[in-house]
Copies of this chain bind each other. A is one copy, B any other.
Amino acid sequence: MDPRIREQAEVVVDHSTKIEQGDNVIIKAQPAAEDLVIAISELCGERGAVTSTAMQSERARRAYMCAIDEEDIALNEMFLAEVEQADVFISIRGQENMTESSDIPPAKNQKQSAENKPLQKEYLEKRWNATQFPTPSGAQKAEMSTAAYEDFVWSAVNKDWDAVKEHQQQLVDILEDADEVRIKSGDTTDVTMSIAGNIVKNDYGEHNMPGGEVFTAPVHETVEGEVLFDKPVMAQGREVNGARLVFEGGTVVEHSAEKNEEVLTALLDTDEGSRYLGELGIGMNRDIDRFTYNMLFDEKMGDTVHMAIGMAYEDTVGEENERNDSAVHTDMIVDMSEDSFIEVDGEVVQRNGTFVFEDGFGE
């Protein structure tokens, strides 16, 4: 077995979920990720925890979902009961075919997600972690060789996360008591927003592995200006390129895209909340140095910021502020590596990807 799989298992078991003797641990995965399941199971054995391996075949789910009548789709009470008994829930992504569910009627998928909301609610109350196993299909999605994709995934995951936490905390400290944030990149992006009273989160790999971002929610009516998103925006399984949004009073008053603009339009028209921003995130994981069509990685890319239109996470909105709600939460990424800066209350805190607390700032 590749020793980097064991390293990833250690990161997930010891850093992310802190598994101890007597813990009940569910390991959810596709068969393609069996090697990581093996490595995590071995560590759980060493720690004296009890494991329950729930490998779920996406091919079987596809066959089931295509065969069942929409009205018969119901909550999986069996798996819910299993999750209720767990202390730790580890969800491993990575399958044989990333488009396995592409011919399931969308309405059926929506019905199933809706019916299984109690399941999601339940595992979010555990010590949960979502991580990625590098499969050939994931490499294909990322337009990389399998070997290069393995290097990419494991260098983003296998690192000293306590050091990452400390490093990122410097940005959290800057933003914590801040009011106005300005994002400027080239001539195409210049947007300001208030984050006053909202909560700044340090993602150091507890729930997402890889982690590596600092994020909060904008006070949603305060967003002003325009943004050109440099990376593809994925929506409804399609790729929107060159998306451009103009904000006034927090809402999108003008939009365009070089490719699939109608998808962007549909996204913005989803509901009332889908024209407001729900998240401002700053990617700080520099081992994620390319876009791989996988938001678990993309949103943490070094030298980028991302803004999500739609729903704001409850744990990022302060008591004084109203939370923007929406059925959608779509992250959109701006490259900050060149001719760019982030300003906080009038002070530049990042220039061309380098933070004020890092060597080379302002050189």
| Chain B residues positioned under 8 Å from A77 (CB to CB) | 24, 50, 85
In the complex, A59→B35 CA distance in Å?
9
Give Cα A65–Cα B64 distance, bound, in whole angstroms.
33
B46 touches A67 (CB 8 A): yes
Q: Is the beta-carbon distance between B59 and A38 smaller than 8 angstroms?
A: yes
Known contacts A63-B38, A81-B82; is A76 also within 8 Å of B57 by CB? no
- A79 close to B (CB within 8 Å): yes
User: Does any Cβ of B come within 8 Å of A74's Cβ?
Assistant: yes
Query: Are the CB atoms of A31 and B55 closer together than 8 Å?
Result: yes
Q: Is A21 positioned at the interface, with any CB of B under 8 Å from its CB?
A: yes
Chain A interface: which size bin? 35 or more
Q: Is A235 an interface residue (CB 8 A)?
A: no
CB distance from A108 to the nearest CB of B (A): 10
Q: How far is the CA of A53 from the CA of B50 in the complex (A)?
A: 19
Chain B residues closer than 8 Å to A37, beta-carbon distance: 57, 60
Contact yes or no, A45 B67, CB < 8 A: yes
Q: How many copies, total?
A: 2
A54 within 8 Å of B (CB atoms): yes
Q: Are B38 and A52 in contact (CB under 8 A)?
A: no
Considering the complex, which residues of chain A in the window 59-93 have a beta carbon less than 8 Å from any beta carbon of chain B? 59-61, 63-69, 72, 74-86
Contact A57 B38 (CB under 8 A): yes
A72 touches which of B27, B39, B48, B61 (Cβ 8 Å) = B48
Q: Given contacts A34-B31, A68-B46, A78-B24, is CB(A60)–CB(B41) below 8 Å?
A: yes
Q: Is B82 a contact partner of A79 (Cβ separation < 8 A)?
A: yes
Is A51 located at the chain interface by the 8 A CB criterion?
yes
Tell which of B45, B46, B67, B78 touches A52, judged by Cβ atoms closer than 8 Å: B78
- With a CB–CB cut-off of 8 A, which chain B residues contact A52? 76, 78-79
With a cutoff of 8 Å between Cβ atoms, the chain B residues found around residue A68 in the complex are 44-46, 48
Contact A57/B34 with A45-B65, A64-B41 known, Cβ cut-off 8 Å: yes
| Distance, CA A60 to CA B41, complexed state (A) | 6
Q: Are A50 and B74 in contact (CB under 8 A)?
A: yes
Complex Cα spacing A52 to B64, Å: 11
A270 within 8 A of B: no
A26-40 contact mask (Cβ, 8 Å, vs B): 1 or 0: 110001001001110
CA distance A24 to B79 in the complex (A): 10
Contact between chains at B45 and A64 (CB < 8 Å): yes
Residues of B within 8 A of A21 (CB): 72
Interchain nearest-CB distance for A107 vs B (Å): 15
Which A residues form the contact surface with B (CB < 8 A)? 21-22, 24, 26-27, 31, 34, 37-39, 41-46, 48, 50-57, 59-61, 63-69, 72, 74-86
> 29 A–B contact pairs at CB < 8 A?
A21-B72, A26-B78, A27-B60, A31-B31, A31-B34, A34-B59, A37-B57, A38-B57, A39-B63, A41-B63, A42-B60, A42-B64, A44-B68, A45-B65, A45-B66, A45-B67, A48-B68, A50-B76, A50-B78, A51-B60, A51-B64, A53-B55, A54-B55, A55-B55, A55-B57, A81-B82, A81-B84, A81-B85, A82-B82
Q: Give the top 10 A-B pairs by smallest Cβ distance, nearest first.
A: A45-B67, A55-B55, A45-B68, A48-B72, A31-B31, A82-B82, A42-B63, A41-B60, A52-B78, A45-B64
**14 other A-B residue contacts (CB within 8 Å) besides A34-B60, A50-B76:** A24-B77, A24-B78, A31-B31, A42-B66, A42-B67, A45-B65, A45-B66, A46-B68, A51-B60, A51-B76, A53-B55, A55-B55, A81-B81, A82-B82
